Amino acid sequence: MNLQVFLLLAAALFAVGLYGALSQQSIVMVMMGLELMINGILVAGAAFWFHIAPGTADGQVLVLVAVTVMALEMAMGFAVVTALFRSRDVDVTDEAGDLRG
Amino acid sequence: MQTVVFWVLAVAAVGFGVAVFVVDSMARATFALLASFLCVGGELLLLDLNYLGVLVVLMMIMEMLVMAVFMIMYMMNPGGLMPMTMVHNRRAALTISIAVFAAMAAGVLLTPWPHRRGAVPHDPAFSLGEAIMGPKMLVMMVIGIAILATMIGSVVLATDRGRYDRPPGRDGGAA
Amino acid sequence: MSDGAPVGAAVALPLVLAGLAYSAAVMDAAFRTGDGPAAPLRESVLLLLRQRRRTLASDVPLVRIGVISLPVAALLAAAVIPLDGGPGGSRVWNLPVSVVWFNAMEVVAWASLWLAGWGANSAFPLVGGYRFLAQGLAYELPHMFALITASLGAGSLDFGAIAAAQDEVWFAVWMPVAFAVYLLSALAMAFWGPMEHPVADDLGGGAAAELSGPDRLLFFAGRLALVAVAAAAAVPLFLGGGAGPWLPGWAWTLIKTVAVLALLVWLRGRWPVIRMDRFMTAAWAVLIPAALLQALVVGVVVLD
């Protein structure tokens, strides 16, 4: 396997996640889409590390950051959903449109 | 052998990813996402990233189980007993994501990628540890502070009671 | 990935694990009811022959995945534990970060219980599944700190290297807090003894309430295998691996494993079941600070 196939896999995961994040109404499902997009980034970061510059650890650090971002995104996302749900019984993005500002 | 494993895991990762948005049951969607992550963990193992691959497996199992709780809390029809779709802008979303994939695939295939520099270290986990404790220390510190900020922020956002308000019947709560 | 996995070990491992799990069942029966060594076998055969009970609108694939993943996870966790306790000793999968892998495979039990509880479409199992998630959030952090402390003492995430680092003094001796936390969280991760709140009697069997026939057998065999794996991992982590006089390494590993296993099984009959919200408070207020202090002490000693 060369770099290209790994990046294609990453792109496919990213695109699937993007579809979910754009099309789903439920905030929870939107977050699953975001997680899938970051999943693609994991693959891309690891593939770049292995195939371009395995001598330095930069690619690994990137993967580590992406994993952390995933966890933080989920924690923050659920906190916001909980706050939103508690204040107005809403868990769907379309009904929280007035938060734009 | 490695090629076969790669393709099996790759197809499974994307397939489970698609399944997340296709299945009706929220529990199944969560575990399809988990399966996709596990496949990606396997791909990382293929790239000699033992530590990060196993870390992804470990973290994602825990994360998806926590996700399952919220999933069930906030979704209508979590069991998928009736079919449902909760989407908006389906066509536009599909178009955009296909276009993005096409653009990225073209970029992947057309870019003249540089040649490999350096060799895979004997113990990648060790070099990662050295990097984040040495030249990349700033990254580690920022991650640490970001995690702390997220912990405080999410608790503040999510809770509706203060330090000494316990629900009735619990230890220290009202009778 | 795996370089030259010894075939013999791969064949022997499931048998050894099954043997340990069965001996745990025998000891449990002996300690609690005084039944003979054939009692677990009788019960298994009964369960095998019994017909499956179905609940209405249950999610059968999810239940199956949950039930099967429990013994599979135990087996996969056992694959990285050195059988003869030496560095680079014979084990099925020679993974350099075996401690992390072991931890990841234990966490699979979270998914197993939740899936088995959710899929049955019944209230008590669902409550049991959620209880285990809460318990998991309570035990996992102290558990990780205990594993990290042992790794810190040896400077390696590999079971073999950790066992080899205990030539002079066992880690159980100079990191007793980490060892105690490990044993406690081993009980919790296998929802065994005082930590069996997720499958407790007050819920009519909790997450396993609706499991019947072969499913039930597999589920509880998987739980015993988890207990056995937790005991087996304690040996290279804290008890010096296969080190010992006269006998070869594998014999010492086996003796120590059975000893830890007997302790865990004996505890089951001695302690009452702890409610998981109380355990949560205790874990975050006592166990995590204690484990962190232990890690600090070990870190200072190692630096020195």
pLDDT per residue as tens digits for the range B20-34: 888 878 888 889 999
What would the pLDDT profile of A11-40 be if each residue is shown by its tens digit? 999 999 999 999 888 888 888 899 999 999
Q: What is the DSSP letter of B161?
A: S
Distance CA C82, CA C40 (A): 28
Q: Predicted confidence band at B93 (pLDDT cuts at 50, 70, 90)? A: confident
| C139 reaches B (C-beta below 8 A) | no
The structure tokens listed for B8 are 């099996």
- Give the residue from A8, A80, A74 showing the smallest Cα distance to B109: A8
C244's torsion region: left (phi>0), alpha (psi -120 to 50) or beta? left
What would the pLDDT profile of C231-267 be if each residue is shown by its tens digit? 999 998 998 877 778 777 788 888 899 999 999 999 8
- Give the residue from C90, C89, C78 showing the smallest Cα distance to C20: C78
Distance CA C261, CA C279 (A): 22
> How many helices (H) and strands (E) in chain B?
6, 0
Residue B75 lies in a domain: yes
- Give the residue from C11, C26, C14 showing the smallest Cα distance to C258: C26
| C50 reaches B (C-beta below 8 A) | no
For residue B97, report the phi and psi dihedrals to the nearest 5 degrees: -70, -35
- Do B75 and B130 share a domain, yes or no? no
List the single range of A19-23, B112-116, B169-173, C97-101 with lowest mean pLDDT. B169-173
- Give the residue from A85, A74, A31, A88 showing the smallest Cα distance to B73: A85
Buried/exposed code over C9-24 (b: 16+ C-beta within 10 A; e: otherwise): beebbbebbbebbbbb
Q: In a mutagenesis test of the B interface, which of C62, C69, C98, C101 is the best target, namely the one with the most B β-carbons within 10 Å?
A: C101
Residue B164 lies in a domain: no
| A99 reaches B (C-beta below 8 A) | no
Q: What is the DSSP letter of A100?
A: -
> How many helices (H) and strands (E) in chain C?
12, 0
Mean model confidence pLDDT for chain C: 86
Task: For residue A35, count other CB atoms closer than 10 A to its CB.
Answer: 26
Residue B128 lies in a domain: yes
Decide which of B44, B79, B114 is a domain's last residue: B79
For residue A24, report the phi and psi dihedrals to the nearest 5 degrees: -80, 145
Helix residue spans in A3-91 (DSSP H): 3-23, 27-51, 58-88
Q: Predicted confidence band at B83 (pLDDT cuts at 50, 70, 90)? A: low
Specify the residue for token string 């079941």: C273
- Do B64 and B128 share a domain, yes or no? no
- Counting the structural domains of chain B, the total is 2
| C93 reaches B (C-beta below 8 A) | no
Residue B5 lies in a domain: yes
Say which residues have a Cβ less than 8 Å from residue C94's Cβ, sequence separation at least 6. C2, C3, C4, C5, C88
User: Are C138 and C110 in contact, with CB atoms under 8 Å apart?
Assistant: no
Residue percentage of chain C with pLDDT more than 70: 95
Structural domain range at position B127: 123-158
Task: For residue C262, count other CB atoms closer than 10 A to its CB.
Answer: 15
User: Are C135 and C279 in contact, with CB atoms under 8 Å apart?
Assistant: yes
Contacts of C133 in chain B (CB under 8 A): 65-66, 69
- Do B71 and B139 share a domain, yes or no? no
Answer whether residue C204 shows pLDDT above 70.
yes
The structure tokens listed for B48 are 């000699």
Distance CA B151, CA C138 (A): 16
Quick one: pLDDT at residue B18?
A: 92
Distance CA C304, CA B169 (A): 49
Quick one: pLDDT at residue C2?
A: 42
Q: In a mutagenesis test of the B interface, which of C55, C65, C76, C110 is the best target, namely the one with the most B β-carbons within 10 Å?
A: C110
| B153 reaches C (C-beta below 8 A) | no
Distance CA C81, CA C232 (A): 8
Distance CA C101, CA C80 (A): 8
User: Are C165 and C239 in contact, with CB atoms under 8 Å apart?
Assistant: no
- Do B63 and B8 share a domain, yes or no? yes
Distance CA A2, CA C117 (A): 43
Q: Predicted confidence band at C174 (pLDDT cuts at 50, 70, 90)? A: confident
Distance CA C304, CA C285 (A): 29
- Do B66 and B127 share a domain, yes or no? no
Quick one: pLDDT at residue C34?
A: 79
The one-letter amino acid code at C31 reads: F
Q: What structural domains and CATH numbers belong to chain A?
A: 3-88 (1.10.287.3510)
Task: For residue A88, count other CB atoms closer than 10 A to its CB.
Answer: 10
Answer whether residue C87 shows pLDDT above 70.
no
Expressed in angstroms, the distance from the first to the final Cα of chain C is: 35
Q: In a mutagenesis test of the A interface, which of B60, B85, B108 is the best target, namely the one with the most A β-carbons within 10 Å?
A: B108
- Do B6 and B65 share a domain, yes or no? yes
- Do B69 and B14 share a domain, yes or no? yes
- Do B130 and B75 share a domain, yes or no? no
For residue C38, report the phi and psi dihedrals to the nearest 5 degrees: -90, -10
- Do B64 and B133 share a domain, yes or no? no
Inter-chain CB proximity A65 and B49 less than 8 Å: no
User: Are C178 and C148 in contact, with CB atoms under 8 Å apart?
Assistant: no
Q: What is the DSSP letter of A24?
A: B
Distance CA B70, CA B79 (A): 13
B48 three-state secondary structure: coil
Answer whether residue B84 shows pLDDT above 70.
no
Max Cα–Cα distance, chain B, nearest Å: 70
Residues 52-91 of B with CB under 8 A from C: 54-55, 57-58, 61-62, 64-66, 68-69, 72, 79, 81
Residue B167 lies in a domain: no
Quick one: pLDDT at residue B1?
A: 82
Q: Parse chain C into domains and list their residue ranges.
A: 7-303
Residue B44 lies in a domain: yes
